[in-house]
Every structure is written in structure tokens, then in C-alpha cells.
């Protein structure tokens, strides 16, 4: 199976367990690897048969803007389920990085895999 990927997509969302974290949005970085058979799209150069990464990015940005979670884990799980369902992809790996969470770290977060390869 082929993979379509998106790296370091920046989104703004309300995320965090502390009161000060919930007063505004914070930046998250999203990395996605998504299973997709690219051969049908490549035969006749048809976007309609490809996994449209622009549409995926727009959906991720919309999801982030519309939701507020305390845990990055919850954000990741809900986003993964939404993407698997809406884009009918069989598998994805999703990494969420919260760059400002720990002052001495470049970032912290979670990485999950869902679906079947």
C-alpha cells in the first residue's frame, strides 16, 4: 500500500488542562501518513481518484478550529476517527506535537496508528 503524507501542518486550537491554557488557542503541529492506493489516480492523472491532501489539510484545520480538548490524546483519537471515516482511508499514522508545552523541549505529544495496513 502506498502512503500519502503531510508534515508539520500548523493548526491553532484550544488545548490543555490548565486554566491558562484554555484562555486562547495554542499551536499544534500535525504529521500524517495515510495509506492509499495511488495507482488508479496515476493511470489517467485524476485527482478524483487520489487522496487529496489539500482537502485533508482543510479538514484538519476545520476540526482544530471547531473543537476544544484538554488532552492531546483526545484530539488525536477523535481526529484519527474522523479522517478514517470521511476520507475512507484504510490506515493512518497521526503525530500531534505541542511545541510550547515544556519549555526545555522542542515539543511533546502523541503518535497513534489506526486502521489496517
Q: Any alpha helices (H) in the chain, and if so which ranges?
A: 39-44, 53-66, 72-87
Verify whether residue 27 is a known catalytic residue: no
Determine which one of 27, 85, 95, 98 is catalytic. Answer: 98
Strand partners, 110: 96
Residue with cell 486554566: 19
User: Nearest 5°: phi and psi at 87?
Assistant: -105, 0
Is 17 in a helix, a strand, or coil?
coil
User: Could you give the residue numbers annotated as active site?
Assistant: 98
Amino acid at each position: 500500500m502506498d502512503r500519502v503524507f503531510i508534515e508539520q501542518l500548523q493548526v491553532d486550537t484550544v488545548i490543555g488542562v490548565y486554566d491558562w491554557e484554555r484562555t486562547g488557542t495554542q499551536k499544534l503541529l500535525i504529521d500524517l501518513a495515510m495509506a492509499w492506493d495511488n495507482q488508479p489516480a496515476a493511470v489517467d492523472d485524476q485527482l478524483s481518484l487520489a487522496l487529496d491532501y489539500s482537502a485533508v489539510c482543510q479538514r484538519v484545520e476545520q476540526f482544530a478550529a471547531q473543537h476544544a480538548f484538554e488532552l492531546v490524546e483526545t484530539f488525536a483519537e477523535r481526529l484519527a476517527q474522523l479522517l478514517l471515516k470521511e476520507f475512507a482511508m484504510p490506515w493512518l499514522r497521526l503525530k500531534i506535537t505541542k511545541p510550547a508545552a515544556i519549555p526545555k523541549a522542542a515539543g511533546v505529544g502523541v503518535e497513534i496508528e489506526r486502521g489496517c495496513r
